[in-house]
Copies of this chain bind each other. A is one copy, B any other.
Amino acid sequence: MAEIERWLELLEDKGGRITGPRRAIVELMVNSDHALSPVDVFDQARGKYPKMGLVTVYRTLEILSEMGLVERVHQSDGCHMYLRAAQGHEHLLICSCCGKAAYFSGDDLGTLIERISRESGFSVQSHWLQLQGLCQKCQPVKIHPSVS
C-alpha cells in the first residue's frame, strides 16, 4: 500500500527516522478500520515487531497525531483510542460493541451553529459530533445478549 510509504515519507520530511517499530505501527494504523487503544496497537504490532515496547506506541501515536495522520477518539469512559484521520470535514460513527469506525460527511450544522451563536453570544469555534451504534456484524450479538 502506497499510503504506508506516504506516511513514512512525511515522517522523514519532518526530520524523523524510519524504524522497525514505527513501520509496524504505521502499517497497522493505515489499514485498521477500527479505533484502537494504545494497548491494542501494542498487541497487534508485536506480531510484526516482537520487541515493541508500549512506550514506543504512545510516542509514535503522539507523533502521528501531531502530524494529522491519526486522530484521538474520545471514549465515554475517558480513555483514548486512535484512528486514521478523517479526510476534510468528516464525523465519526463508531460501533459501541466492536469499535468498528466509519467516517461520514454531509452534516449540515451550519444553520444550527449560526442560530446558537446568535442566541448565546458565544463565538463557536468547533463542534464535536459523533454517532454511536451497532455495526452490521454486531447487531445480532446485541439482540441476543445472552451470549455473555
- A residues bordering B, Cβ < 8 Å? 72, 74, 76, 78-80, 93, 95-96, 102, 104, 106-109, 112-113, 115-117, 119-136, 139
Q: Hey, which chain B residues are within 8 Å of A78, CB to CB?
A: 74, 78-80
Copies of this chain assembled into the complex: 2
Q: Hey, which chain B residues are within 8 Å of A134, CB to CB?
A: 122-123, 125
Q: Are B113 and A124 in contact (CB under 8 A)?
A: no
Q: Are B102 and A122 in contact (CB under 8 A)?
A: yes
| Minimum CB distance partner of A94 in chain B | B122
Q: Are A117 and B133 in contact (CB under 8 A)?
A: yes
Q: Hey, which chain B residues are within 8 Å of A128, CB to CB?
A: 128-132
Q: Hey, which chain B residues are within 8 Å of A121, CB to CB?
A: 135-136
Q: Can you identify 6 A-B contacts, CB atoms within 8 angstroms?
A: A93-B116, A96-B125, A104-B116, A113-B131, A124-B133, A126-B132
Q: Are A102 and B80 in contact (CB under 8 A)?
A: no
Q: How far is the CA of A131 from the CA of B113 in the complex (A)?
A: 8
